[in-house]
């Protein structure tokens, strides 16, 4: 994902850009970010009268992977994650589905319960987003304020971003050129602020920026297999799976490289978190967490053996650099240091909703 270096919105004469920027100040939930991203997606497709339901579906589809796969917490006040999980239970959509596919399924579904979940966001999001344009109503009750924003927006009063109707919004013609010509920067601005918001909610979760959008592809672990683990297989003849005790052989390809702490949480392929495990078991393990009390000894012994063999064969290997993240002094390859890194990751991942292996 690309972010501009200075996250400021571009100016345009006659356009109150400062009010758009104000929409993202003092936010207590992610609604505004996903709402605006959904609007931008429609505008980029040439739509300026946009169904609210389409926008709500866009919000959910954009949050789908972040919630379901990476288990990033949105905070207790934020219901997007609850709606994502509820719709996941109703529609049975894969947690790894592409955003475009999720959106298509949400737009085409006929299930009333899904519709109810989507329309939940109509209670607050569309009109509160326009609050910066109508500060004169801030002392009114919520219901009166909502009605007045709806009425005023229909005439594009205060040059507000869009007009509000029961079932749709209409982009202000004065804003159309600004949104279309600056869509890329606006999305970067939005994702940058969303990233800062989620990082504050998940201070110990690594790599939040790369958990906002499903990557177009995940790299293979072929290099780690052939440049590192192959030496271990060749040296010892086989590797024993720490989970099933089955002997694994390089020539038989009856193994898969797996992340001990799930990739969905750590978002990296560093060698100290990778081990060969039985291929069939790998499918059932998925992104579940290992029980440290049960597996940490075996994991450490296998990692130490692999480290020693590779260091003996190629002390200047890039994989030695990856081990130095945990062991600054490579001669001090201790289980306590490895555990001190992995234990907090397992704990935080569990707190964020990752399940343990049974």
For 279, which DSSP code? H
| 29-44 exposure pattern, b = at least 16 Cβ within 10 A, e = fewer | bbbbbbbbbbbbbbbe
Residue 171 contacts residue 50 (beta carbons within 8 Å): yes
CA atoms within 13 A on the CB side of 8: 5
Instruction: Tell me how far apart the alpha carbons of residues 105 and 232 are, in angstroms, rounded to a whole number.
Output: 46
Please give the pLDDT value at position 216.
Answer: 63
Percent of the chain whose pLDDT exceeds 90: 82
pLDDT at position 7 is 61
pLDDT digits (tens, 9 = 90+) for 201-211: 998 899 999 89
Q: What is the dihedral of CA 231, 237, 241, 245, to 10 degrees?
A: -160
What is the per-residue DSSP string for 7-67?
Answer: --PPP-TT--HHHHHHTTSS-SSSHHHHHHHHHHHHHHTT-SEEEHHHHHHHHHHHHHHHH
- pLDDT tens digits, one per residue of 215-231: 766 778 999 999 999 99
pLDDT tens digits for range 154-178: 999 999 999 999 999 999 999 999 9
Q: For the chain, report the end-to-end CA distance as a whole number of angstroms.
A: 35
Q: Has residue 28 got a pLDDT over 90?
A: no
Q: What is the pLDDT of residue 286?
A: 86
Residue 6's pLDDT band (boundaries 50, 70, 90)? very low
Listed residue (40, 33, 48) closest to 121, CA to CA: 33
Helices (H), the chain: 17-22, 31-44, 52-68, 80-91, 99-108, 112-119, 125-128, 142-153, 173-181, 183-201, 222-224, 230-236, 263-266, 279-285, 292-313, 318-323, 335-351
The pTM score is 0.81
Q: Which of 313, 311, 312 is nearest to 322 (CA)?
A: 311
Region of 267 on the Ramachandran plot (φ > 0 left; ψ -120 to 50 alpha; else beta):
left
**d(C-alpha 13, C-alpha 319), whole Å:** 54
Question: HSE on the CB side for 72, CA within 13 Å?
Answer: 31
Positive or negative CA dihedral for 150, 191, 352, 348?
negative
Quick one: which H or E segment has residue 247? strand 247-248
Distance CA 116, CA 46 (A): 27
User: Is 78 or 53 the better-scoring residue by pLDDT?
Assistant: 53
What's residue 117's pLDDT? Answer: 97
- pLDDT tier for residue 272 given thresholds of 50, 70 and 90: very high
**Which range, of 44-53, 58-67, 72-81, 229-238, averages the lowest pLDDT?**
72-81
- Percentage of the chain modeled with pLDDT above 70: 97
Stretch 13-18: mean pLDDT, rounded? 93
C-beta neighbour count of 79 within 10 angstroms: 18
pLDDT at 3: 39
Contacts 24+ apart (CB under 8 A), 115-120: 115/53, 117/83, 117/86, 117/87, 117/90, 118/53, 118/56, 118/57, 118/60, 118/83, 118/87, 119/52, 119/53, 119/56, 120/79, 120/83
pLDDT at 353: 86
């Amino acid at each position: 994902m690309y972010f501009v270096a200075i996250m400021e919105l571009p100016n345009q004469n006659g356009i109150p850009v400062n009010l758009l920027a104000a929409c993202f100040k003092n936010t207590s939930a992610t609604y505004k970010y996903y709402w605006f991203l959904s609007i931008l997606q429609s505008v980029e497709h040439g739509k300026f009268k946009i169904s609210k339901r389409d926008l709500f579906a866009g919000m959910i589809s954009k949050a789908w992977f972040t919630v379901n796969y990476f288990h990033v917490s949105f905070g207790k006040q934020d219901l997007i994650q609850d709606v994502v999980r509820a719709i996941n239970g109703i529609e049975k959509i894969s947690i790894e589905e592409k955003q475009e596919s999720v959106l298509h399924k949400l737009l085409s579904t006929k299930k009333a319960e899904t519709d109810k979940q989507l329309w939940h966001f109509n209670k607050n999001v569309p009109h509160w987003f326009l609050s910066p344009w109508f500060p004169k109503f801030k002392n009114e009750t919520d219901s009166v304020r909502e009605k007045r924003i709806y009425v005023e927006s229909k005439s594009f009063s205060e040059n507000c971003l869009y007009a509000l109707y029961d079932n749709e919004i209409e982009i202000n013609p004065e804003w159309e050129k600004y949104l279309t010509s600056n869509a890329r920067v606006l999305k970067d601005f939005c994702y940058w602020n969303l990233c800062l918001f989620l990082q504050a909610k998940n201070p110990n979760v690594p790599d939040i920026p790369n958990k906002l959008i499903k990557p177009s592809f995940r790299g293979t672990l072929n290099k780690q297999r052939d440049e590192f683990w192959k030496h271990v297989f060749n040296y010892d003849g086989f590797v024993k799976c720490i989970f099933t005790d089955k002997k694994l052989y390089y020539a038989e390809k009856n193994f898969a490289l797996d992340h001990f702490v799930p990739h969905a949480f750590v978002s990296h392929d560093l060698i100290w978190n990778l081990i060969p495990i039985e291929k069939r078991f790998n499918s059932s393990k998925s992104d579940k967490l290992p029980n440290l009390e049960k597996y940490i000894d075996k994991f450490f012994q296998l990692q130490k053996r692999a480290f020693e063999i590779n260091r003996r064969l190629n002390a200047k290997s890039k994989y030695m650099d990856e081990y130095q993240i945990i062991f600054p002094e490579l001669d001090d390859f201790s289980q306590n240091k490895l555990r001190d890194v992995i234990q907090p990751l397992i704990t935080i991942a569990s707190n964020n909703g990752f399940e343990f292996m049974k």
